[in-house]
Amino acid sequence: MKKINHPKVNNTLIKNLLKEAKRAGIKVKQLDPRFLTFCLEYKGKRHYFFQKKIGLNSANASLVSNKYLTLEILRKAGLKVPKAFLISSVDEVKTLIKSKKIKYPFVIKPFDYSLGIGVTANITDLNTVKMAYSILQKYWRKAQERGKKKKKRLIMVEEHAKGNDYRILVLKNKVIAVTQRAYPEIIGNGKDSVWNIVNAYYKNHEYYIKKKKQPLIDDELKRNLKIQEVNFKTILKKGQLIRLRQTANVFGGGNAINMTNKIHPFYKKVALQATQEFKMGIAGIDLMTQDISKINDYRIIEINSFPSLDMHENPQIGKSINVSKIILKSIFPKLK
Protein backbone atom coordinates (compact mmCIF):
# COMPACT_ATOMS: atom_id res chain seq x y z
CA MET A 1 0.00 0.00 0.00
CA LYS A 2 1.27 3.47 -0.88
CA LYS A 3 2.57 5.41 2.09
CA ILE A 4 0.04 7.90 3.45
CA ASN A 5 1.43 11.33 4.19
CA HIS A 6 -0.71 13.85 6.06
CA PRO A 7 1.65 16.75 6.90
CA LYS A 8 -1.09 19.03 8.21
CA VAL A 9 -2.40 16.61 10.85
CA ASN A 10 -1.20 17.64 14.30
CA ASN A 11 -3.89 16.20 16.55
CA THR A 12 -2.87 12.90 18.14
CA LEU A 13 -6.37 11.41 18.03
CA ILE A 14 -6.61 11.78 14.25
CA LYS A 15 -2.99 10.67 13.83
CA ASN A 16 -3.59 7.53 15.89
CA LEU A 17 -6.77 6.64 14.03
CA LEU A 18 -5.21 7.16 10.59
CA LYS A 19 -2.15 5.14 11.54
CA GLU A 20 -4.30 2.27 12.83
CA ALA A 21 -6.57 2.48 9.75
CA LYS A 22 -3.56 2.03 7.49
CA ARG A 23 -2.35 -0.91 9.58
CA ALA A 24 -5.81 -2.52 9.43
CA GLY A 25 -6.09 -2.24 5.65
CA ILE A 26 -8.63 0.57 5.59
CA LYS A 27 -8.24 2.84 2.56
CA VAL A 28 -7.60 6.44 3.63
CA LYS A 29 -7.81 9.43 1.34
CA GLN A 30 -7.30 13.07 2.22
CA LEU A 31 -9.96 14.86 0.20
CA ASP A 32 -8.09 18.16 -0.07
CA PRO A 33 -4.84 19.18 1.68
CA ARG A 34 -6.36 22.59 2.43
CA PHE A 35 -8.96 20.96 4.69
CA LEU A 36 -8.44 18.34 7.39
CA THR A 37 -11.01 16.03 5.85
CA PHE A 38 -10.42 12.34 5.27
CA CYS A 39 -12.45 9.56 3.72
CA LEU A 40 -12.02 6.09 5.21
CA GLU A 41 -13.28 3.20 3.12
CA TYR A 42 -13.51 -0.50 3.94
CA LYS A 43 -15.48 -3.15 2.06
CA GLY A 44 -17.75 -0.63 0.36
CA LYS A 45 -18.50 1.45 3.47
CA ARG A 46 -17.25 5.05 3.69
CA HIS A 47 -16.76 7.21 6.75
CA TYR A 48 -15.48 10.80 7.06
CA PHE A 49 -13.25 12.64 9.52
CA PHE A 50 -13.66 16.41 9.35
CA GLN A 51 -11.17 18.49 11.35
CA LYS A 52 -11.86 17.53 15.00
CA LYS A 53 -15.00 15.57 14.22
CA ILE A 54 -14.80 11.85 13.58
CA GLY A 55 -18.48 11.34 12.80
CA LEU A 56 -19.57 9.62 16.01
CA ASN A 57 -21.24 12.46 17.90
CA SER A 58 -24.52 14.31 17.48
CA ALA A 59 -24.82 18.08 17.22
CA ASN A 60 -25.51 18.19 20.98
CA ALA A 61 -21.93 17.09 21.62
CA SER A 62 -20.68 20.55 20.60
CA LEU A 63 -22.12 21.84 23.88
CA VAL A 64 -19.33 20.21 25.87
CA SER A 65 -16.80 22.65 24.39
CA ASN A 66 -18.36 25.12 26.83
CA LYS A 67 -17.24 23.77 30.20
CA TYR A 68 -19.58 26.00 32.17
CA LEU A 69 -22.70 24.92 30.28
CA THR A 70 -21.56 21.30 30.51
CA LEU A 71 -21.53 21.47 34.31
CA GLU A 72 -24.92 23.18 34.42
CA ILE A 73 -26.48 20.52 32.20
CA LEU A 74 -24.96 17.68 34.20
CA ARG A 75 -26.08 19.27 37.46
CA LYS A 76 -29.68 19.44 36.24
CA ALA A 77 -29.39 15.79 35.18
CA GLY A 78 -28.65 14.87 38.80
CA LEU A 79 -24.93 14.20 38.42
CA LYS A 80 -22.34 15.61 40.81
CA VAL A 81 -20.25 18.50 39.50
CA PRO A 82 -18.25 21.27 41.18
CA LYS A 83 -19.86 24.64 41.83
CA ALA A 84 -18.81 27.06 39.06
CA PHE A 85 -19.10 30.72 38.09
CA LEU A 86 -18.26 32.73 34.97
CA ILE A 87 -16.33 35.95 35.62
CA SER A 88 -14.23 38.41 33.63
CA SER A 89 -11.90 40.05 36.17
CA VAL A 90 -9.98 39.57 39.40
CA ASP A 91 -12.37 41.98 41.12
CA GLU A 92 -15.26 39.65 40.34
CA VAL A 93 -13.34 36.80 41.96
CA LYS A 94 -12.92 38.96 45.07
CA THR A 95 -16.68 39.60 45.08
CA LEU A 96 -17.40 35.86 44.90
CA ILE A 97 -15.10 35.24 47.86
CA LYS A 98 -16.50 38.15 49.89
CA SER A 99 -20.09 37.01 49.29
CA LYS A 100 -19.06 33.47 50.28
CA LYS A 101 -20.42 32.07 47.02
CA ILE A 102 -17.13 30.25 46.68
CA LYS A 103 -14.43 29.38 49.19
CA TYR A 104 -10.77 28.52 48.95
CA PRO A 105 -9.46 26.28 47.48
CA PHE A 106 -10.82 26.73 43.98
CA VAL A 107 -9.76 26.49 40.33
CA ILE A 108 -9.46 29.19 37.69
CA LYS A 109 -9.51 28.12 34.06
CA PRO A 110 -10.82 29.13 30.63
CA PHE A 111 -14.32 27.90 29.95
CA ASP A 112 -13.58 26.88 26.37
CA TYR A 113 -9.98 25.59 26.13
CA SER A 114 -8.78 22.00 26.22
CA LEU A 115 -5.56 20.06 27.01
CA GLY A 116 -5.31 21.66 30.45
CA ILE A 117 -4.36 25.00 28.91
CA GLY A 118 -4.49 27.90 31.36
CA VAL A 119 -5.72 25.83 34.32
CA THR A 120 -4.59 26.81 37.83
CA ALA A 121 -5.91 24.44 40.50
CA ASN A 122 -5.99 24.39 44.31
CA ILE A 123 -5.86 28.19 44.62
CA THR A 124 -5.65 29.23 48.27
CA ASP A 125 -4.86 32.96 48.20
CA LEU A 126 -5.41 36.17 46.24
CA ASN A 127 -1.85 36.32 44.91
CA THR A 128 -2.43 32.99 43.14
CA VAL A 129 -5.72 34.34 41.77
CA LYS A 130 -3.77 37.19 40.17
CA MET A 131 -1.16 34.76 38.85
CA ALA A 132 -3.87 32.53 37.33
CA TYR A 133 -5.51 35.51 35.64
CA SER A 134 -2.11 36.66 34.31
CA ILE A 135 -1.52 33.19 32.81
CA LEU A 136 -4.86 33.38 30.99
CA GLN A 137 -4.06 36.84 29.66
CA LYS A 138 -0.92 35.41 28.03
CA TYR A 139 -3.00 32.79 26.23
CA TRP A 140 -5.49 35.43 25.11
CA ARG A 141 -2.68 37.54 23.66
CA LYS A 142 -1.35 34.52 21.78
CA ALA A 143 -4.84 33.81 20.47
CA GLN A 144 -5.10 37.41 19.23
CA GLU A 145 -1.78 37.06 17.43
CA ARG A 146 -3.19 34.01 15.65
CA GLY A 147 -6.24 36.02 14.64
CA LYS A 148 -8.60 34.30 17.06
CA LYS A 149 -10.23 37.29 18.75
CA LYS A 150 -12.90 36.72 21.37
CA LYS A 151 -15.80 39.15 21.86
CA LYS A 152 -15.80 38.72 25.64
CA ARG A 153 -13.13 37.07 27.70
CA LEU A 154 -14.84 34.98 30.33
CA ILE A 155 -13.16 32.57 32.68
CA MET A 156 -14.42 29.98 35.12
CA VAL A 157 -14.00 29.97 38.86
CA GLU A 158 -14.68 26.41 39.93
CA GLU A 159 -14.82 24.64 43.26
CA HIS A 160 -11.68 22.51 43.77
CA ALA A 161 -12.59 18.82 43.62
CA LYS A 162 -10.46 16.59 45.82
CA GLY A 163 -9.19 13.16 44.86
CA ASN A 164 -7.46 11.48 41.96
CA ASP A 165 -7.96 12.47 38.34
CA TYR A 166 -9.50 9.86 36.01
CA ARG A 167 -10.35 9.84 32.31
CA ILE A 168 -13.15 7.44 31.34
CA LEU A 169 -13.36 6.77 27.60
CA VAL A 170 -16.88 5.92 26.39
CA LEU A 171 -17.69 4.59 22.93
CA LYS A 172 -21.25 3.90 21.81
CA ASN A 173 -22.63 3.50 25.32
CA LYS A 174 -19.76 1.34 26.57
CA VAL A 175 -16.73 2.15 28.71
CA ILE A 176 -13.71 0.95 26.72
CA ALA A 177 -10.80 2.41 28.72
CA VAL A 178 -10.09 4.11 32.04
CA THR A 179 -6.88 5.95 32.90
CA GLN A 180 -5.74 7.61 36.08
CA ARG A 181 -3.71 10.72 35.42
CA ALA A 182 -1.21 10.76 38.26
CA TYR A 183 0.15 14.12 39.41
CA PRO A 184 3.77 14.90 38.49
CA GLU A 185 5.84 14.32 41.62
CA ILE A 186 9.51 13.99 42.51
CA ILE A 187 11.17 12.04 45.31
CA GLY A 188 14.25 13.19 47.17
CA ASN A 189 17.41 11.10 47.45
CA GLY A 190 19.22 13.08 50.13
CA LYS A 191 21.84 14.27 47.64
CA ASP A 192 20.41 16.19 44.69
CA SER A 193 18.75 19.60 44.65
CA VAL A 194 15.14 20.16 43.64
CA TRP A 195 16.42 21.84 40.47
CA ASN A 196 18.38 18.78 39.39
CA ILE A 197 15.59 16.33 40.25
CA VAL A 198 12.93 18.40 38.45
CA ASN A 199 15.04 18.64 35.30
CA ALA A 200 15.80 14.93 35.41
CA TYR A 201 12.10 14.18 35.87
CA TYR A 202 11.08 16.01 32.72
CA LYS A 203 14.05 14.86 30.66
CA ASN A 204 13.13 11.24 31.43
CA HIS A 205 9.38 11.69 30.97
CA GLU A 206 8.15 9.73 27.94
CA TYR A 207 5.91 12.51 26.64
CA TYR A 208 8.65 15.15 26.86
CA ILE A 209 11.13 12.85 25.15
CA LYS A 210 8.68 12.03 22.37
CA LYS A 211 7.73 15.66 21.78
CA LYS A 212 11.30 16.93 22.32
CA LYS A 213 9.99 19.43 24.86
CA GLN A 214 12.05 21.28 27.41
CA PRO A 215 11.39 20.85 31.17
CA LEU A 216 8.32 22.84 32.21
CA ILE A 217 9.69 25.46 34.61
CA ASP A 218 6.97 28.07 35.15
CA ASP A 219 5.05 30.04 37.80
CA GLU A 220 2.79 27.06 38.56
CA LEU A 221 5.79 24.91 39.41
CA LYS A 222 7.33 27.64 41.57
CA ARG A 223 4.01 28.11 43.37
CA ASN A 224 3.81 24.45 44.29
CA LEU A 225 7.38 24.37 45.55
CA LYS A 226 6.66 27.40 47.74
CA ILE A 227 3.51 25.77 49.18
CA GLN A 228 5.63 22.78 50.20
CA GLU A 229 8.30 25.09 51.66
CA VAL A 230 11.09 24.15 49.28
CA ASN A 231 12.90 25.92 46.45
CA PHE A 232 15.18 24.93 43.58
CA LYS A 233 18.25 24.90 45.83
CA THR A 234 16.70 22.65 48.49
CA ILE A 235 18.28 19.22 48.99
CA LEU A 236 15.32 16.92 49.54
CA LYS A 237 15.52 14.26 52.21
CA LYS A 238 15.59 10.68 51.01
CA GLY A 239 12.03 9.62 50.23
CA GLN A 240 10.61 13.15 50.53
CA LEU A 241 7.74 13.57 48.05
CA ILE A 242 7.08 16.89 46.31
CA ARG A 243 4.16 17.55 43.95
CA LEU A 244 5.13 19.75 41.01
CA ARG A 245 1.69 20.75 39.74
CA GLN A 246 -1.93 20.70 40.86
CA THR A 247 -3.15 19.31 37.54
CA ALA A 248 -2.39 15.77 36.42
CA ASN A 249 -2.48 16.33 32.68
CA VAL A 250 0.23 14.43 30.80
CA PHE A 251 1.10 17.67 28.96
CA GLY A 252 2.28 19.06 32.30
CA GLY A 253 4.28 15.98 33.21
CA GLY A 254 1.57 13.76 34.69
CA ASN A 255 1.68 9.99 34.25
CA ALA A 256 -1.00 7.68 32.87
CA ILE A 257 -2.01 4.54 34.79
CA ASN A 258 -4.34 1.97 33.21
CA MET A 259 -7.35 1.47 35.51
CA THR A 260 -9.73 -0.14 33.01
CA ASN A 261 -10.12 -3.39 34.92
CA LYS A 262 -10.46 -1.64 38.28
CA ILE A 263 -13.30 0.81 37.70
CA HIS A 264 -16.36 0.18 39.86
CA PRO A 265 -19.66 -0.33 37.96
CA PHE A 266 -21.03 2.74 39.77
CA TYR A 267 -18.65 5.05 37.87
CA LYS A 268 -19.39 3.31 34.60
CA LYS A 269 -23.04 4.15 35.16
CA VAL A 270 -22.16 7.78 35.94
CA ALA A 271 -20.01 8.10 32.80
CA LEU A 272 -22.68 6.56 30.57
CA GLN A 273 -25.38 8.85 31.97
CA ALA A 274 -23.21 11.89 31.33
CA THR A 275 -22.47 10.75 27.78
CA GLN A 276 -26.12 10.00 27.02
CA GLU A 277 -27.15 13.47 28.23
CA PHE A 278 -25.34 14.93 25.21
CA LYS A 279 -26.08 12.04 22.83
CA MET A 280 -22.38 11.36 22.35
CA GLY A 281 -21.06 8.34 20.49
CA ILE A 282 -17.56 8.96 21.84
CA ALA A 283 -16.57 10.95 24.90
CA GLY A 284 -13.81 11.35 27.45
CA ILE A 285 -15.26 11.93 30.91
CA ASP A 286 -12.94 13.66 33.39
CA LEU A 287 -13.90 12.59 36.89
CA MET A 288 -12.38 13.22 40.32
CA THR A 289 -12.73 10.72 43.16
CA GLN A 290 -10.49 9.19 45.81
CA ASP A 291 -10.53 5.66 44.40
CA ILE A 292 -12.35 4.65 41.23
CA SER A 293 -12.44 1.02 42.34
CA LYS A 294 -14.77 1.89 45.24
CA ILE A 295 -17.94 3.96 45.57
CA ASN A 296 -16.91 7.37 46.92
CA ASP A 297 -17.94 10.96 46.55
CA TYR A 298 -17.09 12.22 43.05
CA ARG A 299 -17.27 15.19 40.74
CA ILE A 300 -17.40 15.26 36.93
CA ILE A 301 -15.05 18.06 35.89
CA GLU A 302 -15.64 18.14 32.14
CA ILE A 303 -16.44 16.10 29.04
CA ASN A 304 -14.28 15.90 25.93
CA SER A 305 -15.90 15.28 22.55
CA PHE A 306 -12.48 14.82 20.95
CA PRO A 307 -10.61 12.86 23.62
CA SER A 308 -6.92 12.06 23.47
CA LEU A 309 -6.13 8.37 22.93
CA ASP A 310 -2.44 8.42 23.84
CA MET A 311 -3.00 8.05 27.57
CA HIS A 312 -4.85 4.76 26.95
CA GLU A 313 -2.58 3.49 24.21
CA ASN A 314 0.72 4.48 25.83
CA PRO A 315 0.29 4.47 29.61
CA GLN A 316 3.36 4.77 31.81
CA ILE A 317 1.92 2.08 34.11
CA GLY A 318 -0.22 -0.87 33.03
CA LYS A 319 -1.11 -2.49 29.74
CA SER A 320 -1.75 -0.56 26.56
CA ILE A 321 -5.25 -0.64 25.06
CA ASN A 322 -5.54 -0.19 21.29
CA VAL A 323 -8.56 2.09 21.48
CA SER A 324 -7.93 3.30 17.91
CA LYS A 325 -8.67 -0.23 16.67
CA ILE A 326 -11.77 -0.45 18.88
CA ILE A 327 -13.07 2.84 17.48
CA LEU A 328 -12.41 1.80 13.88
CA LYS A 329 -14.15 -1.54 14.44
CA SER A 330 -17.20 0.35 15.72
CA ILE A 331 -17.20 2.30 12.44
CA PHE A 332 -16.44 -0.72 10.27
CA PRO A 333 -18.02 -3.78 11.97
CA LYS A 334 -16.52 -6.12 9.33
CA LEU A 335 -13.00 -5.08 10.24
CA LYS A 336 -10.95 -8.00 11.56
Q: How far apart are alpha carbons 84 and 101 in whole angstroms? A: 10
- What does pTM read for this prediction? 0.89
> In this structure, what DSSP letter does residue 63 have?
G
Same domain, 143 and 194: no
Helix, strand, coil shares of the chain as percentages rounded to 5? 35, 25, 40
Q: Is residue 39 part of a domain?
A: no
Residues of the domain holding 203: 187-244
Computed on alpha carbons and rounded to an integer, the radius of gyration of the chain in Å comes to 21
Q: How far apart are alpha carbons 164 and 263 in whole angstroms? A: 13
The enclosing domain of 120 has a CATH number of: 3.30.1490.20
The string of pLDDT tens digits covering residues 127-147 is 999 999 988 888 777 766 766
Q: Is residue 123 part of a domain?
A: yes
pLDDT of residue 147: 64
pLDDT of residue 323: 98
Q: Is residue 95 part of a domain?
A: yes
pLDDT of residue 1: 46
Q: How far apart are alpha carbons 13 and 11 in whole angstroms? A: 6
The string of pLDDT tens digits covering residues 209-254 is 988 899 999 988 999 999 999 999 999 999 999 999 998 888 889 9
Q: How far apart are alpha carbons 260 and 54 in whole angstroms? A: 23
Q: Residues of the chain with pLDDT > 70: what percent?
A: 94
- Residue 129's CB is within 10 A of a number of other CB atoms, namely 20
DSSP-based three-state secondary structure for 5: coil
Same domain, 95 and 156: yes
- Out of 14-18, 31-35, 322-326, which region has the weakest mean confidence (pLDDT)? 31-35
Looking at the 3D structure of the chain, how many domains does it have? 2
Q: How far is CA 277 from CA 41, 182, 319, in A?
A: 30, 28, 31
Q: pLDDT averaged over the chain?
A: 91
> CA torsion sign, 181 to 183 to 189 to 191?
positive
Closest CA to 103 of 112, 113, 93: 93
Q: Is residue 236 part of a domain?
A: yes
Q: How far is CA 51 from CA 9, 35, 37, 91, 217, in A?
A: 9, 7, 6, 38, 32
The string of pLDDT tens digits covering residues 30-61 is 887 777 889 999 999 999 998 778 889 987 88
All residues at 6 or more sequence positions from 269 whose CB lies less than 8 Å from its CB, including other chains: none
Q: Is residue 203 part of a domain?
A: yes
Q: Contact at 8 Å (CB) between 206 and 316?
A: yes
Q: Is residue 234 part of a domain?
A: yes
Q: Is residue 264 part of a domain?
A: no
**Residue that terminates a domain, selected from 199, 217, 244:** 244
Q: Is residue 28 part of a domain?
A: no
Q: How far apart are alpha carbons 293 and 265 in whole angstroms? A: 9
The string of pLDDT tens digits covering residues 64-87 is 989 999 999 999 999 999 999 999
**Residue that terminates a domain, selected from 160, 179, 206:** 160
